[in-house]
């Protein structure tokens, strides 16, 4: 690849401040490894609406289409809290996922050793945890039709549909098994086959795919409610978890919190089009603009972009290592500070600078 082109969408709330840090780290990492990298920024979501533009402006979409990867901040703004889903600015993210057919969302849960004491779980439970949630991202309850509002004899209603075709389950299952092959060869498929036909089909399809092509991988099926319980009770047992869109959304917030803060987890969305990289957390409007936000999830997201977008895991690892080094030196944003000796409470910008210095 002669030149790696990145479309940067800072997003809403804390998005711009954490993106500043992530972009600085991205540039420094590319320079260090002599990867020619260019980038351009464009608005989306509430940031676009505030400029009189639609949530996903044409020029932003065009920039994404002409790039090799999208580095995307969090979307969402409380001013639209009561608006229907179709009018909310964060819809732009769902449109991006759908437009580029980004069906596989990779959300790693791997606590940084320096932060073990920031986890709400006891050290003996959290130590050594390392799993990967693979969330189906363009189907299921978020996208299947019919959806919307209606009215019948019993009054107004809202409707969404949980439908999966076997091919959709097969393609996300394939990613899960392939990722497991690079790890500890265990896949846990979280479903709700005891209550839902769509999930019965999910289970059968996963099993068939396994038996035909991935018999070397251990496959277990687990009901998603039990999975949530197990993530808290015994998180070390997991290697790869694969789940339906909304189940994966919920499990990944749970997983993220195990690491001590939602502000620590990156994600990669892969599929047939331009891959998108975004932190798992939201736009945290309550602390926006105050320099308090933790930029590490966004910085680690840039790391995932190198690994999966530029196929340069060496650069991705350098970013991860720099984050870990900054934490080892004691730097903490408020969300991960525990008032322990040796900790230095820092702002968003200072944290990003500490990572840069370690790089």
- Based on the shown chain and the rule CB under 5 A, indicate whether residue 257 belongs to the binding site for Mn ion: no
* Total residues binding ligand IPM (CB under 6 A): 5
> x-or-dash pattern for Mn ion, window 204-243, by CB under 5 A?
----------------------------------------
* The length of the chain, given as a count of residues: 359
211: Cβ–Cβ under 8 A, 6 or more apart, which residues?
A: none
Q: From the candidates 12, 164, 191, 192, give the one annotated as an active-site residue.
A: 192
Could you tell me if 279 and 301 are in contact, meaning their C-beta atoms sit under 8 angstroms apart? yes
- Based on the shown chain and the rule CB under 6 A, indicate whether residue 77 belongs to the binding site for ligand IPM: no
Work out which of 76, 140, 275, 309 binds ligand IPM, going by CB under 6 A.
76
For 55-74, give the DSSP string.
SS-HHHHHHHHTSSEEEE--
Least distance from C-beta 84 to Mn ion, angstroms?
19
> What, of Mn ion, ligand IPM, none, does residue 93 touch, CB below 5 to 8 Å by kind?
ligand IPM
Q: From the candidates 50, 117, 225, 286, give the one annotated as an active-site residue.
A: 225
Least distance from C-beta 93 to ligand IPM, angstroms?
6
Q: Report the site for ligand IPM in 152-181 (rule: CB under 6 A).
A: none
Q: From the candidates 12, 77, 93, 142, give the one annotated as an active-site residue.
A: 142
Q: Where are the beta strands (DSSP E) in 155-255?
A: 155-159, 186-191, 218-223, 240-243
CA distance linking residue 282 with residue 74, whole number of Å: 5
> What, of ligand IPM, Mn ion, none, does residue 316 touch, CB below 5 to 8 Å by kind?
none
Could you tell me if 270 and 151 are in contact, meaning their C-beta atoms sit under 8 angstroms apart? no
215: Cβ–Cβ under 8 A, 6 or more apart, which residues?
A: none
Residue number of the CB closest to ligand IPM reads 90
Alpha helix stretches (DSSP H) within 268-339? 296-304, 313-328
Could you tell me if 16 and 48 are in contact, meaning their C-beta atoms sit under 8 angstroms apart? no
* Total residues binding Mn ion (CB under 5 A): 1
Cis peptide preceding 228, ω within 30 of 0: no
- Based on the shown chain and the rule CB under 6 A, indicate whether residue 249 belongs to the binding site for ligand IPM: yes
Answer yes or no: 349 catalytic: no
CA distance linking residue 200 with residue 38, whole number of Å: 46
Answer yes or no: 249 catalytic: yes
317: Cβ–Cβ under 8 A, 6 or more apart, which residues?
A: 303, 307
- Based on the shown chain and the rule CB under 6 A, indicate whether residue 90 belongs to the binding site for ligand IPM: yes
Least distance from C-beta 32 to ligand IPM, angstroms?
30
Answer yes or no: 164 catalytic: no
Q: Where are the beta strands (DSSP E) in 117-230?
A: 131-136, 148-152, 155-159, 186-191, 218-223
Q: Is the Cβ of residue 248 or residue 303 nearer to ligand IPM in the bound state?
A: 248
Answer yes or no: 253 catalytic: yes
252: Cβ–Cβ under 8 A, 6 or more apart, which residues?
A: 107, 109, 133, 135, 265, 267, 280
Answer yes or no: 110 catalytic: no
- Based on the shown chain and the rule CB under 6 A, indicate whether residue 108 belongs to the binding site for ligand IPM: no
Q: From the candidates 98, 253, 329, 349, give the one annotated as an active-site residue.
A: 253
Work out which of 37, 44, 46, 93 binds ligand IPM, going by CB under 6 A.
93
Work out which of 249, 257, 320, 335 binds Mn ion, going by CB under 5 A.
249
Active site (catalytic) residues: 142, 192, 225, 249, 253
Q: Which residues bind Mn ion (CB under 5 A)?
A: 249
Q: Which residues bind ligand IPM (CB under 6 A)?
A: 75-76, 90, 93, 249
């Amino acid at each position: 690849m002669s030149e790696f082109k990145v479309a940067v969408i800072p997003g809403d709330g804390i998005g711009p401040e954490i993106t500043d840090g992530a972009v600085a780290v991205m540039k420094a990492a590319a320079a260090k490894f002599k990867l020619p990298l260019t980038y351009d920024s464009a608005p989306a979501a509430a940031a676009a609406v505030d400029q009189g533009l639609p949530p996903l402006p044409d020029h932003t979409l065009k920039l994404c289409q002409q790039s090799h990867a999208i580095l995307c901040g969090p979307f969402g703004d409380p001013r639209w809290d009561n608006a229907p889903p179709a009018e909310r600015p964060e819809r732009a993210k769902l449109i991006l996922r759908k437009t580029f057919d980004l069906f596989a969302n990779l959300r790693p849960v791997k606590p940084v050793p320096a932060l073990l004491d920031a986890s709400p779980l006891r050290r003996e439970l959290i130590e050594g945890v390392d799993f990967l949630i693979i969330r189906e991202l363009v189907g299921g309850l978020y996208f299947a039709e019919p959806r919307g509002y209606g009215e019948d004899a019993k009054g107004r209603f809202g409707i969404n549909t949980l439908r999966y075709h076997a091919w959709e389950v097969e393609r996300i299952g394939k990613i899960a098994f392939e990722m497991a092959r690079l790890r500890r060869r265990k896949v846990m498929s979280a479903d709700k086959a005891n209550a839902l036909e769509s999930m019965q089909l999910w289970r059968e399809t996963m099993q068939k795919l396994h038996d035909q092509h991935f018999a070397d991988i251990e496959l277990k099926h687990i009901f998603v409610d039990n999975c949530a319980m197990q993530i808290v009770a015994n998180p070390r047992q997991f290697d790869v978890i694969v789940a339906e869109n909304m189940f994966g959304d919920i499990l990944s917030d749970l997983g993220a919190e195990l690491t001590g803060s939602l502000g620590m987890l990156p994600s990669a969305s892969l599929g047939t089009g331009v891959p998108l990289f975004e932190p798992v957390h939201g736009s945290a409007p309550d602390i926006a603009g105050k320099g308090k936000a933790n930029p590490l999830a966004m910085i680690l997201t840039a790391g995932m972009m190198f690994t999966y977008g530029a196929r340069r895991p060496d650069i991705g690892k350098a970013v991860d290592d720099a984050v870990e080094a900054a934490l080892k030196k004691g730097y903490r944003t408020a969300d991960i500070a525990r008032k322990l000796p040796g900790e230095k409470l820092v702002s968003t910008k200072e944290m990003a600078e500490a990572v840069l210095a370690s790089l």
